[in-house]
Amino acid sequence: MKQHFHAEIFRWGKINTMDSNKISSSNSEISSRPSFMEVDLTRLTSNYKAIQNFVGDSTVMPIVKANAYGHGIVRVSQHLSSLGAKILGVAFVEEALVLRRAGLKIPILVLGGVLGEQIPLYLENDLIITASSIEKLEQIDQIAGKMDIKAKVHLKIDTGMERIGVHYYTAETLLEASLKVKNTFVEGIFSHFANADSADLTNANLQLERFNGVLSFYEKRSLRTPLRHIANSGAVLQLPESQFDIVRPGILMYGVYPSNEVIQSIKVKPVMSWKSKVVYFKVVKPGHPVSYGSIWQSEKMVRVVTIPVGYGDGYFRSMTEKAEVILDGKRYPVVGRICMDQFMVNIDWDSAYNNDEVILVGESKKEKITVEDLANWAGTIPYEILTNINTRVPRVYKE
């Protein structure tokens, strides 16, 4: 039986707040730079609701680490909170502190490892700590006692990632220790899949079996089972039996599937578009190479436009000679090496003018370029594309 997540179990203390507009980009910034990421909050809403409807009674914990997968951690978190999200997940305490200072009071679980000197930060800001070993749990409990604050933790079980967390085959000692702490509330217990986004779910099912084996500790002793969670985006889509009390969608929340092998059992739409403008137009003669290394030149007279985006923005240099953009509803190739701040596009003998819109990711007329396209061109995964779009690219929010 699934346990419902209740926000009222959290007690909030005083926190420092600051104007969120100083943290998240506003639409006025579009005037300072012609290149920007457009974040469609309406699509974020649709994705969140689609995931929540699909998982039923499970609580959706949106993962907003890495600047909300590049979409802007503060504005995205504010929006998800307004939709009724009961808890958020981040990787580091620093990310959680950004949200607290922006005024968010929603429960936040920090999924990564914790250092001893960081524990007071968690406690002072009512953050949920990942307890990944007996030593960490006891340290949290000791510091919480000295500060006269009740700590909240989720126990981390390693079922096959070999990252952080106590091994599933020695987890009983951690669970027994968790029954003895005096200043710590063990609210949850979780693990993480290594291969839930694969077509072959053999390994994922093995991890799920191991996690269930650990959870049997509570049933055998007739104890309250903490909130259970293991399902990431891939598992949400493919392993309904892993959804338990909480699910943790990350990239799926932003409208991108975790792999091209995964079953697309929930229909989501990309939340972000990446746009820029033409800043220069020139005619290039045959035999005149374009950009660093002189690796590309035309065999005929062509028109080339310059776009003020480069690998310094997260438009990967490895996409050189592969990437395309959309200009006036038509796809054109990026030519020459992608520079740190600019790249060039061959429009053959078509027309273009300074200030014309250029789509790096998004749709125009019948053409579309996706994050997956960029990942294929760069030889990487969509996660890396999203999280590497530099913060010097303004985020503009569309509602």
pLDDT of residue 57: 96
pLDDT of residue 258: 97
Q: Give me the residues paired with residue 275 across strands.
A: 36, 359
* Cα–Cα distance for residue pair 196/239, rounded to 1 Å: 8
* Cα–Cα distance for residue pair 324/312, rounded to 1 Å: 18
Prediction pTM value? 0.91
**Residue 232: its H or E element:** none
Question: Catalytic site residue 65?
Answer: yes
pLDDT of residue 97: 98
**Residue 397: its H or E element:** strand 395-398
CA distances from 275 to 315, 339, 357 (A): 12, 17, 7
- The answer for residues whose C-beta is within 8 angstroms of residue 212's C-beta and 6 or more apart is none
Query: 64 near 90, Cβ under 8 Å?
Result: yes
* Cα–Cα distance for residue pair 156/134, rounded to 1 Å: 11
- The answer for residues whose C-beta is within 8 angstroms of residue 331's C-beta and 6 or more apart is 324, 325, 367, 369
In the structure encoding, which two tokens stand for residue 316, read together?
Answer: 């990967």
In the structure encoding, which two tokens stand for residue 276, read together?
Answer: 């820029």
Q: Which domains does the chain have, with CATH numbers?
A: 7-24+40-254 (3.20.20.10), 272-398 (2.40.37.10)
CB-neighbour burial class of residue 94 (10 A; exposed 0-12, middle 13-18, buried 19+)? exposed
> In the chain, which residues have pLDDT < 70?
1-31
Expressed in angstroms, the distance from the first to the final Cα of the chain is 37
Question: Catalytic site residue 275?
Answer: no
Q: Which of 65, 86, 156, 275 is catalytic?
A: 65
Pairing state between β 324-327 and 166-167: unpaired
**Residue 95: its H or E element:** helix 93-101
Phi, psi of 100 (to 5 degrees): -65, -45
List the beta strands (DSSP E) in 66-180.
Answer: 88-90, 108-110, 129-131, 151-158, 166-167
pLDDT of residue 1: 52
- The answer for residues whose C-beta is within 8 angstroms of residue 82's C-beta and 6 or more apart is none
* Cα–Cα distance for residue pair 88/108, rounded to 1 Å: 5
Return the C-alpha torsion angle 68, 208, 51, 162, nearest 10: 10
Among 97, 66, 68, 98, which Cα is nearest to 85's? 68
Helix axes 171-178, 202-220, angle to 10 degrees: 40
pLDDT of residue 196: 98
**What is the DSSP code (8-state) at residue 63?**
B
Q: Which of 267, 292, 353, 365 is catalytic?
A: 292
Q: Give me the residues paired with residue 307 across strands.
A: 343
* Cα–Cα distance for residue pair 103/376, rounded to 1 Å: 38
